[in-house]
Structure 1
Amino acid sequence: MDVYIMLLLLFVLSTGINLLFLPKLLQTLKSSDRVSVLVPLRNEERNVPGLMESLKRITHSPVEFILLDDGSTDGTKELLLQYSKGDTRFNIIDGKPLPEGWVGKVHACSQLSQHSSGDYLFFLDADVRVSPDIIEKVLFQINKYDAGLITGFPRFPVPNVLSKMLVPFQHFLVYFHLPLPVSNHTTRKAFTAAHGAFMFFTRDAYEGCGGHAAVKSSLLEDVHLAREVKESGRTAILVNNTADVTCHMYDSNAEVWEGFLKNVYVGLGRNPISVLMLSLFYFSFYFLPLPLFLYGLLWADWVYCVPIMLIWLQTLIIDWASQQDRWHFLLMPLASITFIIIMWASMLKSVKKQGYSWKGRTYS
């Protein structure tokens, strides 16, 4: 038990230290450089009003907003035209049919880049809301580090049970497992994280790495594109953007399940050994403390309560940094089991060659 507790304490300390190397968006830079804000949309009717109001409040100038309707069957296009009427900064375009070998979002983003004229390309998802001075803040960071890409994991509202379990787990996985000093200050591809809802490129870095065309068949295009940036010799900086960026990723439990199902096994390199090792790790260190805690309460043996206190503390540190709900950390043991289940489900779907479904399209 002593070794077990010491390892958990080490996890807490390493996480706290790692987060010291995560830059925050605090300072701004006024610039005359043109920024292209690029948003792909497919059946995003519910998100259009909030998205457009958020974009209209952006203070940087010069800026252009290019929004691509990717074959929506709801009222997305009509709402885009309605909310952009009279604002010359906006350009609403129709996406072309999806070619063989491309993933839908990747193809949409590639088309957006071709229509852009900015010195910087700022890719956002339709479910993202940003602070008015977000561009000035990112410009400061990208110039400070002479980076090719600035990316970050937004704050995630979690409206349903499955989103509470899985969506904030993104922050935990990155801030615990990714050595941020190496990730942010070297071009080593193995140490790379990115979030596709928030990708800010210099044009030369984007074009120099081949852009979205270089990752046209990827279901994890954000990470793979960030790796391409590093491969071309530029750095990709992960920042803490949670004070300025909110992402309403999923509205239902079904959407959470489908979204993670298509990404988790791909994110692990389709490696079954990784699934097995991570399952053992998270069961042993992040679920097991719960039955130990219950045993300690039952028999008044308080040493068995220490492990869950440590994993709660580690999760609380990450939740505080990512502005997650105040009591979310209490769910960590259950979130770990949920993560294990989704890993195995994602792997089995791949092994059975059933394909992953998203927004009416199926990918292998």
Structure 2
Amino acid sequence: MIIVMWILVIIQVWVLFNGSLLPVMKHHKDGNRHANIDQPLVSILVPMRNEERHAADCIDSLKQLDYDALQIVIIDDGSTDETATILEEAIDQDPRFSVIKGTGLPEGWVGKVHACHQLSKHAQGDYYLFVDADVRLEPETVQESISLMKAETGLLSGFPNYPLKGILGHLIVPLQHVIIHLHLPVMFANFTKWPMASAAHGAFMFFRKEAYLDAGGHEAVKQSLVEDVHITRAIKKAGWNSLLVNPTRLVTCHMYESNQEVWNGFSKNIYPGIGRNPILALLLVLFYAGTFVSPVFFALHGLFTGLFVSFIPLLLTISIKISIDVMSRQKWWLGLFMPVSMLLLSALIFYSMYLGLAQKGFTWKGRTYS
């Protein structure tokens, strides 16, 4: 128990340090700060496939952006629902918007990656902002992104705020922030070009045009199910820096609407995200069980023996989760369920690994990838 307790103390210090190195995207009271100066053109690029649930709200959010020099291109990537009709009604002849039809998916490409590749061919801006249909942006998001981009920064990204729905939504979705604070050395991610220290969120990726082209664009990661991480590594290999920020004040992602979507989405990403390495998957499960689940048993032992020092590891586990949730603007009380969340994450790791090793494939948006 003593060893686990000290490990948790170190982790608590580590996540606070890591979180402090993520620049925070902030609201500004002065409105469009670039209204009276030359604005670089920003191409906002949105892939959509069967997004009738999000299309109208996405368009409304983009219309509210407090930035003038915008080109907004949306691709309808083979939707079979009412996405196209909703887009036409929501855009309502706004000249900043254009909608293109996606072509068939070529062999060897992942669907979203191919959609983003097609979008890039229509982009005319000095910056490319790729956002998903379920993302909502605050009005000052574009100018705040530009203000954080230094001359050597090729890509800015970050993990958004997530409105949570369902049991798995509350217990699993916020763990994306936990994984970043716990596993990513932010110092190396943001201040070096070391490719392995890379993270990004595919729902919000703000590229400098030159860096995107130097890295080979989405074509360079055409087979990737975790294209956000792999394109970030390509950016660094091309000689540019990437910047991971905390965008939770300005960027919201309505990522999953049901328990089934949470399960399918995470099982699609986890095993490919760790390089399809079964040994690493097992080590992660052992680490989570030994560090974040075992404190429950220590606390139960203390409850029956009166040795209340046995509660300290559980309190530290909860404290770690609460501190991350506060930094990422999630519900603080979710930290009380950290051991349960880590058990569920472990189950997802095993299931995702099973899909990969058994060659069942990973299914998303009606497509299955090996």
TM-score normalised by L of structure 1:
0.98
Task: Give the letter for the 1:296 counterpart.
Answer: G
* C-alpha distance in 2 between matches for 1:232 and 1:326: 39
Q: Which of 159, 164, 172 is the matching residue for 1:153?
A: 159
* C-alpha distance in 1 between matches for 2:133 and 2:173: 17
Kindly state the Cα deviation for residue 27 of structure 1 after the two structures are TM-superposed.
7.5
For 1:20-62, what per-residue CA distance to the aligned partner results, in whole angstroms no more than 9, with x for missing partners? 1110113876351000000000001010121111100001111
For 1:155-175, what per-residue CA distance to the aligned partner results, in whole angstroms no more than 9, with x for missing partners? 111101112221111100111
Matches within 5 A, 1:323-362: 323-362=329-368
Tell me, yes or no, if the aligned pair for 1:44 and 1:126 is still in contact at 8 Å.
yes
* C-alpha distance in 2 between matches for 1:181 and 1:101: 35
- Corresponding residue for 1:7? 7
* C-alpha distance in 2 between matches for 1:132 and 1:326: 26
Q: Which of 60, 67, 74 is the matching residue for 2:67?
A: 60
- Corresponding residue for 2:319? 313
- Corresponding residue for 1:80? 87
**Secondary structure at 1:350 match in 2:** helix
- Corresponding residue for 2:238? 232
Tell me, yes or no, if the aligned pair for 2:56 and 2:86 is still in contact at 8 Å.
yes
Matches within 5 A, 1:168-179: 168-179=174-185
For 1:152-203, what per-residue CA distance to the aligned partner results, in whole angstroms no more than 9, with x for missing partners? 0001111011122211111001111111111101010111111000000000
Tell me, yes or no, if the aligned pair for 2:27 and 2:140 is still in contact at 8 Å.
no
* C-alpha distance in 1 between matches for 2:179 and 2:334: 15
Task: Give the letter for the 1:111 counterpart.
Answer: Q
**Secondary structure at 1:37 match in 2:** strand
Identity %: 43
Q: Indicate yes or no: 2:303 matched with 1:293.
A: no
* C-alpha distance in 2 between matches for 1:302 and 1:44: 52
Task: Give the letter for the 1:6 counterpart.
Answer: W
Q: Indicate yes or no: 2:282 matched with 1:276.
A: yes
Task: Give the letter for the 2:15 counterpart.
Answer: T
- Corresponding residue for 1:122? 129
* C-alpha distance in 1 between matches for 2:255 and 2:93: 29
- Corresponding residue for 2:76? 69
Task: Give the letter for the 1:104 counterpart.
Answer: G
Tell me, yes or no, if the aligned pair for 2:5 and 2:312 is still in contact at 8 Å.
yes
Q: Indicate yes or no: 2:128 matched with 1:111.
A: no
For 1:257-291, what per-residue CA distance to the aligned partner results, in whole angstroms no more than 9, with x for missing partners? 11111110001100011011101100001111112
Tell me, yes or no, if the aligned pair for 1:270 and 1:347 is still in contact at 8 Å.
yes
* C-alpha distance in 1 between matches for 2:2 and 2:268: 39
Task: Give the letter for the 2:175 counterpart.
Answer: F
**Secondary structure at 1:288 match in 2:** helix
Matches within 5 A, 1:88-103: 88-103=95-110
The aligned length equals: 363
Moved more, 4-13 or 127-136: 4-13
Task: Give the letter for the 2:24 counterpart.
Answer: K
* C-alpha distance in 2 between matches for 1:274 and 1:134: 37
* C-alpha distance in 1 between matches for 2:302 and 2:117: 56
Task: Give the letter for the 1:189 counterpart.
Answer: P
Tell me, yes or no, if the aligned pair for 2:155 and 2:208 is still in contact at 8 Å.
yes
For 1:205-230, what per-residue CA distance to the aligned partner results, in whole angstroms no more than 9, with x for missing partners? 00010000000010000000000000
Tell me, yes or no, if the aligned pair for 2:27 and 2:249 is still in contact at 8 Å.
no
- Corresponding residue for 1:131? 138
Tell me, yes or no, if the aligned pair for 1:45 and 1:74 is still in contact at 8 Å.
yes
Tell me, yes or no, if the aligned pair for 2:317 and 2:338 is still in contact at 8 Å.
yes
Task: Give the letter for the 1:274 counterpart.
Answer: L
Tell me, yes or no, if the aligned pair for 2:43 and 2:73 is still in contact at 8 Å.
yes
Q: Indicate yes or no: 2:228 matched with 1:222.
A: yes
Matches within 5 A, 1:180-259: 180-259=186-265
Tell me, yes or no, if the aligned pair for 1:27 and 1:140 is still in contact at 8 Å.
no
Tell me, yes or no, if the aligned pair for 1:215 and 1:221 is still in contact at 8 Å.
yes
Which aligned segments of 4 or more residues in structure 1 are displaced greater than 6 angstroms? none
Q: Which of 349, 364, 369 is the matching residue for 1:363?
A: 369
* C-alpha distance in 2 between matches for 1:287 and 1:185: 33
**Secondary structure at 1:115 match in 2:** coil
**Secondary structure at 1:74 match in 2:** coil
Task: Give the letter for the 1:57 counterpart.
Answer: Q
**Secondary structure at 2:269 match in 1:** helix
* C-alpha distance in 2 between matches for 1:80 and 1:115: 18
* C-alpha distance in 2 between matches for 1:133 and 1:302: 49
* C-alpha distance in 2 between matches for 1:253 and 1:27: 32
Task: Give the letter for the 1:59 counterpart.
Answer: D
**Secondary structure at 1:276 match in 2:** helix
**Secondary structure at 1:200 match in 2:** strand
- Where does the alignment leave 5 or more consecutive residues of structure 1 unmatched? none
